[in-house]
């Protein structure tokens, strides 16, 4: 099952990579940086705890899980009305009902430039319109997506709160924010406002605590010396090749690598 949300740093590429495998586990699947949920939808676990710090993103998952038909109906209306003028009106509109806010989020996600999510200082989505006009896809099954999500506890919170719930037998998949062009010394500065070095240190402490309680942790992170040094006392890593898609110009995109760690 494919993710229904396009998200920066998404892991669609990873689940089809031959280097990717999931350790055996008997408990719950826990993901504290949900984003598009590529690994979750790939595994379709029987029980899960899913979270993200982005409350608007989590609202979409809750709306699809609890009332997908209303969300889909609203998206059909948006598909009929889609135009440049409608996009910018919708971008500035404040929706009150949960299913309308979820549909608005998905509409903007699918028709904005490069599927980027960005807010201004007032917390307003400000990405310009993109070139894609599809709001609904023929192979998309919101009913099935809803069924998969019904076995999950979904919440908006800091990653440390979610990872703290891990216990013996659980699998925690951790994919913190980091730039795809991270094989350079500037990657930490690039992410300072999004996910600081202090957050990286907090994350390591949370991972260590989960492992000490008997959980298994699968971590993806920047393939950078500072990250390797940070986890050198816990485990080695595997460098996984992937294409970089952060640039808006295809010629500027290039191959890069990410680091994959398994702690158990």
Task: Point out the annotated binding site for S-adenosyl-L-methionine.
Answer: 7, 11, 52, 175
DSSP for the chain, written as a single string: ---SS--TT--HHHHTSTT------SS-EEESS-TT-HHHHHH--SSEEEEES-HHHHHHHHHHHHHHHHHHHHHHHHHHH-SHHHHHHHHH----SHHHHHHHHHHHHHHBGGG---B-TTS-B-PPB-S---SS-TT--HHHHHHHHTTEEEEE--HHHHHTT--TT-EEEE-----SS-SSTTHHHHTTTTS-HHHHHHHHHHHHHHHHTT-EEEEEEE-SHHHHHHTTTT--EEEEEEE---SSSGGG--EEEEEEEEE-
Report which of 35, 85, 43 is spatially closest to residue 61, judged by C-alpha positions.
35
Q: Is 173 left (phi over 0), alpha (psi -120 to 50) or beta?
A: beta
Residue 113 structure tokens: 């430039």
Residues annotated within the binding site are: 7, 11, 52, 175
Residue 45 structure tokens: 């676990």
Check: CB of residue 24 under 8 Å from CB of residue 217.
no
């Amino acid at each position: 099952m494919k993710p229904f949300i396009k998200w920066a740093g998404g892991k669609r590429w990873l689940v089809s990579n031959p280097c990717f495998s999931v350790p055996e586990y008997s408990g719950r699947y826990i993901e504290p940086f949900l984003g598009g949920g590529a690994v979750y939808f790939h595994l379709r676990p029987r029980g899960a705890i899913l979270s993200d710090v982005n409350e608007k993103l989590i609202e979409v998952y809750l709306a699809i899980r609890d009332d997908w038909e209303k969300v889909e109906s609203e998206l059909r209306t948006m598909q009929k009305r889609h135009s440049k003028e409608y996009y910018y009106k919708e971008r500035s509109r404040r929706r009150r009902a949960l299913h309308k806010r979820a549909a608005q989020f998905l509409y903007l996600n699918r028709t904005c430039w490069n599927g980027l999510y960005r807010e201004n200082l007032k917390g307003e989505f400000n990405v310009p319109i993109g070139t894609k006009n599809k709001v609904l896809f023929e192979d998309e099954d919101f009913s099935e997506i809803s069924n998969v999500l019904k076995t999950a506890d979904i919440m908006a919170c800091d990653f440390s709160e979610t990872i703290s719930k891990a216990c013996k037998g659980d699998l925690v998949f951790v994919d913190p924010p980091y730039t795809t062009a991270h094989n350079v010394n500037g990657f930490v500065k690039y992410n300072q406002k999004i996910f600081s070095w202090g957050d990286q240190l907090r994350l390591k402490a949370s991972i260590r605590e989960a492992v000490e309680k008997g959980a298994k942790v699968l971590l993806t992170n920047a393939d950078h010396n500072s990250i390797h040094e940070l986890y050198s006392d816990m485990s080695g890593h595997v460098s996984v090749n992937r294409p970089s898609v952060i640039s808006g110009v295809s010629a500027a995109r290039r191959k890069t690598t990410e680091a994959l760690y398994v702690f158990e």
